[in-house]
A and B are shown apart, each in its own frame.
Chain A
Amino acid sequence: MTPVEGSERQTQLLRGALDMCMLALLAKEPAHGYELVRRLDEAGLDAGGYGTVYPLLTRMRGLGLVVDEVQESPSGPRRKVYAVTPAGHQRLAAWQAQWQRFVNTVNATLADNAGGGHE
């Protein structure tokens, strides 16, 4: 697999899990949009930057999974901090359970094939 193929595959894998990761990070601690991008980067998730994360954050807000709160700052501009709602926590728990089942299934499938499958 070339580095380009690897990168594309990584992007595809992340596409289905990015909203869950965003929700998990916000569940740990509320953050504003740019801060969330930074946390995703620190977590090792190449999420595609603010251009990808911010629209997704807006959708999650529209779905009622996160709520925003404007925080006035005495030293800087006001900023909108996003936090997970009770509905968001419920959704996150459901997504985590679903993800665990999926990962277990994939791992089991890969383990079956660990010997090379050329017997």
Chain B
Amino acid sequence: MSEIPLWTIDQAMAGAEREWRRLHVHPADLAGLSRDLRDDLTAAWAEGVGPAELIGTDVRGFARRLADEARVARVPFEFRRLLLTAVVGALPGILIGYAIVFAHIPVPALQTQQPGTGAVLTAYTVLAALVVVSSLLTVWFRLRDLPSMGHTVLGMALLVPLAGVLVTPVTMGFAALVDYSDALPVVAIECGMVAAALAGATILARRWSLRGWTATGRQPLPATPPTSPA
């Protein structure tokens, strides 16, 4: 008895398309690959051959090979590089910022030396601004060769502070819910919330800056392939 699972064509196509999206294959190329593969799978199905018998059990691997061989265009999101560069770039801002903040707010603050709310807000706003500027400058200088990075940095300059402003009360609300616990899991969740918001803003900025790439049919699969000499 065959051990090959009985996938439907839709299941195989969903698996392949998921992998192509993960690889950031350009939407026009993805549509072309998908249409061609579906036609072939359907033709084979009519002859009694299922997708699993054709493709094998590794649909993702097949989809990767197909994308590589077809030399499809990929949208250069480069999320991983962008996020990593943004985090590394934030470090100098954090160090400088804390040095400035601690120079003005003694830690641990004594009851008699409690700074005013205005001073604290100003200090942390300056800290946040330094972190954002440091991160954005690093992203710009390190990744300026990537397409649309100018727009990405502009988008980040707008969205990252906005995300920070929005996530701060949410995080403070969560902290209040857990009675301002400083237990490690609680602190980890709070840090995670802030990191997720800032990362989300960064990804959104990158997607926004590359909306032209995904909207236009850039480098689609050739309908009529070019002829080349042997």
Contacts and interface: CB of A to CB of B under 8 A. Distances in A.
B191 to A, nearest CB: 43
Interface string B57-80: 010011001101111000000000
A101 interface: no
Most buried by B among A50, A56, A68, A93: A50
Interface in B21-69: 33, 36-37, 39-40, 42-47, 49, 54-56, 58, 61-62, 65-66, 68-69
Contacts of B58: 51
Most buried by B among A34, A90, A91: A34
Contacts of A78: 39, 43
B66 A70 contact: no
A76 to B, nearest CB: 4
Given A34-B44, A63-B228, A77-B45, 16 more contacts: A32-B40, A32-B43, A33-B44, A37-B54, A51-B62, A56-B69, A59-B69, A59-B71, A61-B222, A64-B225, A66-B225, A68-B36, A76-B43, A78-B39, A90-B230, A91-B230
Contacts of A59: 69-71
B111 interface: no
Interface string A25-63: 000000011100100000000000111101110110111
Interface residues of A, number: 33
Given A61-B225, A67-B224, A77-B43, A55 B70 contact: yes
Nearest to A32: B43
B226 interface: yes
B225 A77 contact: no
Contact of A51 (B39, B56, B71): B56
A85 B66 CA distance: 21
Most buried by B among A64, A67, A77: A77
B172 to A, nearest CB: 52
B118 interface: no
The bracket for how many chain B residues form the interface is 20 to 34
B230 A94 contact: yes
Interface in B175-192: none
Contacts of B61: 51
B225 A67 contact: yes
B47 A51 contact: no
A9 interface: no
A24 to B, nearest CB: 14
